[in-house]
Amino acid sequence: MKIARLTCFILAVAVVFLTAGAAQAAMKTQWIDYKQGNTALAGYLIYDDAAQGRRPGVLMIHDRSGFSENTLADAQMIAKLGYVVFAEDIFGKGIVPKDVPEMTKQITIYNNDRALMRARAVAGLDVLKAQPIVDATKLASVGYCFGGTVGIELVETGAPLLGFVSVHGSFNKFVPEAAKNIKGRVLILHGAEDPVAPIEEVTSLVSQLRAAKVDFELNLYSGTTHGFTRPQNPSEVRADDEYKVAMTRFFKDILSR
Amino acid sequence: MKIARLTCFILAVAVVFLTAGAAQAAMKTQWIDYKQGNTALAGYLIYDDAAQGRRPGVLMIHDRSGFSENTLADAQMIAKLGYVVFAEDIFGKGIVPKDVPEMTKQITIYNNDRALMRARAVAGLDVLKAQPIVDATKLASVGYCFGGTVGIELVETGAPLLGFVSVHGSFNKFVPEAAKNIKGRVLILHGAEDPVAPIEEVTSLVSQLRAAKVDFELNLYSGTTHGFTRPQNPSEVRADDEYKVAMTRFFKDILSR
């Protein structure tokens, strides 16, 4: 019995290592050029090439830094969950703000022109839907920071997403009654001490979602400021762990049916 | 290789069944008489007798229905996670309200006399701590509904709990500055459409916890009214699942260190 259990344990460890190795080796990435109106855009596609058949797709919406290393790392993390991830481009091909003033300049363009924000968001979703490896009936989205604003605007267009995850998203200037267009679920993962997107923005969004009877869940983390996915204190380390668990469970719940 | 993996699978299944069987067979329960002042109280102790050594303890605080079947079932669920659970008695030995007016009468006594509420809560904690099988350095608490009020009052006494979980708790009449006495973490699991403990009560408690820099997390479930642990609609079925996952993770995090 003891030898059999030891064999079992060794086998299990071997399977875990082999699987992990295979998955990493087969992670495929590709930059895809596309357009919204006359604007050239370039998004980042990433998925596990070892998997077979069509898979659920996750549209990722970058934060104010655009296609930073963090954006690509987060896209990879989500792709490893088994989804085809397309990190769409909101700012335009080659536009990567190099400092905070440049970031603010970029996001202000879209925060003040919500029709343009929506059009950019939809353009990326169309690219994801068109991928031959994507099951277009199983789509979700995730947005970080500024990408939280874009993500809410996107679901408020009535886009056919089964769910949207906001990770320290900023929420402002939504047309309140637009929440009734949301078709899927919304998961809001937020720091209670976020100075960029203060708790009052969350409270306001929650009111709109409640009024529209949208299916949502809010996880609010104490002692946590903005950008907790790059944690600065022990509370944010935990928030970073918790958000990954919550997001993974959420995607599994809506995309694995 | 295939035979070895099949053997491994069969062994694993066998282990799961044997373990589950053993755990259920060994679940031990006991009613314990104790006192607070001159008032006779009787609480319900439940734990897995098969486990060895001292284990973390969880103080459970009943809802307005007192020791209903639900209370005992929830105590068993938590005991199965590997903790010694003591469901303390707030109302007094033998007092089990038979209808809503009787429930309201009972909880009103304690809602209006917070010193008494605290004394009752502490008395039960003392019983749990005194159990020879309990590791008194690893204590947590969980309160349902009215038990949420009691649980917050208890942690605001400065009780040495590593954490408290409120499940559709009602929150009112707290002395705001008392939150600074809270030593452990707080997990609030709440329905966004709770008419008994409306979202404004949660917002108010969150403000107090933030001001006192208490380590907390709030999970807010849409479409969910009060008492979602006995779900009435699909949103509440999910909230019931989600709360168990969140509570289990929370207890593991604080009690398994």
DSSP string, B124-172: HHHHHHH-TTEEEEEEEEEEETHHHHHHHHHHTTT---SEEEEES----
| Residue A222 near residue B188, CB atoms below 8 Å | no
- Please judge whether B215 and A223 are an interchain contact, meaning their C-beta atoms are less than 8 angstroms apart: yes
DSSP state of B256: -
pLDDT tens per residue across span B11-48: 444 444 444 444 455 899 999 999 999 999 999 999 99
pLDDT at A140 over 70: yes
For chain B, what is the total number of helices (H) and then of strands (E)? 7, 8
Option in B8, B219, B222 nearest A209 (CB): B222
Spatial separation of the C-alpha atoms in residues A242 and A72, rounded to whole Å: 20
Under 8 Å between Cβ of B150 and B170: no
Instruction: Give the mean pLDDT of A195-218.
Output: 97
Q: Taking CB atoms and an 8 Å limit, are B222 and A242 in contact across chains?
A: no
| Chain B residues with beta carbon closer than 8 angstroms to that of A192 | 206, 210, 216, 218
pLDDT of B257 above 90: no
Mutate to test the interface with A, among B7, B222, B245 (most CBs of A within 10 A): B222
- Pick the closest to residue A168 from A151, A154, A185, A180 (CA basis): A151
- pLDDT computed for residue B22 by the predictor: 45
Residue A249 and residue A186 in contact, taking contact as beta carbons nearer than 8 Å: no
How far is residue B158's CA from residue B178's CA, in Å, rounded to a whole number?
9
Task: Express each pLDDT in B82-115 by its tens digit.
Answer: 999 999 999 999 999 999 999 999 999 999 999 9
CA distance B145 to B141: 13
Query: Which residues pair with residue A186 across a beta bridge?
Result: A164, A216
B222 → closest Cβ in A203, A217, A220: A217
Query: ipTM exceeding 0.90?
Result: no
- Minimal-distance CA residue of chain A relative to B234: A215
**Does residue A231 sit in helix, strand or coil?**
coil
Tokens of B6: 């099949």
Residues B124-182 pLDDT 10s:
999 999 999 999 999 999 999 999 999 999 999 999 999 999 999 999 999 999 999 99
Residue A36 region by backbone torsions, left for phi larger than 0, else alpha for psi between -120 and 50, else beta: beta
Q: Which residues of B touch A2 (CB under 8 A)?
A: none
- Return the number of other C-beta atoms located less than 10 Å from residue A60's C-beta: 28
Nearest-Cα distance to chain A for B198, in Å, is 13
Stretch (H or E) spanning A78: helix A69-79
pLDDT, residue A257, reads: 73
User: Which residues in chain A have Cβ-Cβ distances shorter than 8 Å to B203?
Assistant: 203
Nearest CA in chain B to A222: B216
The pLDDT of residue A9 is above 50 = no
pLDDT band (50, 70, 90) for residue B8: very low
pTM given for the model: 0.89
At B18 the pLDDT is 42
